[in-house]
Chains A and B, each alone.
Chain A
Amino acid sequence: NAGVTQTPKFRVLKTGQSMTLLCAQDMNHEYMYWYRQDPGMGLRLIHYSVGEGTTAKGEVPDGYNVSRLKKQNFLLGLESAAPSQTSVYFCASTQRANVLTFGAGSRLTVL
């Protein structure tokens, strides 16, 4: 099925470890977004991309890096994980920067 695929679905890290979350979409969408969702905080935008090779900061970018080397993939990296980054991460894509298609989420726990 066409859509947005996030890997991994679950991950446990120790403080200071690094990891990369992968988002892949097969809809040829230009725009891609990474959000985190915490209880009581709603969805908060981390970084986004308006096309291959471009990235931009969202509301809460600190501690994260992103890359969009291929149009279909948007990677979210944590260089040195902290317990405050324990969250559920959602990737989304859209062709016209309006209606978003979301992935199923990646649940990250940092101990």
Chain B
Amino acid sequence: SQKIEQNSEALNIQEGKTATLTCNYTNYSPAYLQWYRQDPGRGPVFLLLIRENEKEKRKERLKVTFDTTLKQSLFHITASQPADSATYLCAPPPYSGAGSYQLTFGKGTKLSVIP
């Protein structure tokens, strides 16, 4: 079955370093992947969407890559700050088998940036 996995449940890094989060997919080829940020007690907020024909996309200190050979998307935060501490979620397109439009998420990676 189609599967999205975020390898790390938690990641701790030092302030100023680059954080790299991983999203792997198996048994299908998504046309795009999305990344969201969720702060405690709040709903997720959309950050970036990268399509399969885009190798890289950037937004300020954020960078996302999409490697269809490795079946993987990497999410980078450069010059990380304590304010970047949050849970980051990866989401594929809705599964459209048999007219279904389920939109599901990976379990997320909780990033802690240590001052």
Contact = CB atoms under 8 A, between A and B. Distances in A.
A42 B105 contact: yes
B: contact size bracket = 20 to 34
B49 A99 contact: yes
Contacts of A74: none
B42 A104 contact: yes
Contact of A41 (B41, B102, B107): B107
Given A43-B105, A56-B101, A98 B32 contact: yes
A43 B100 contact: no
Nearest to B47: A99
B101 A50 contact: yes
B46 A99 contact: yes
Interface residues of A, number: 26
A86 interface: no
A58 B102 CA distance: 6
Given A42-B106, A97-B93, A98-B32, 8 more contacts: A42-B107, A42-B108, A43-B89, A48-B101, A97-B103, A98-B49, A98-B103, A104-B43
Interface of A: 4, 31, 33, 40-45, 48, 50, 56, 58-59, 90, 92, 94, 97-105
8 contacts: A42-B107, A43-B44, A43-B89, A48-B101, A59-B102, A99-B46, A100-B44, A102-B44
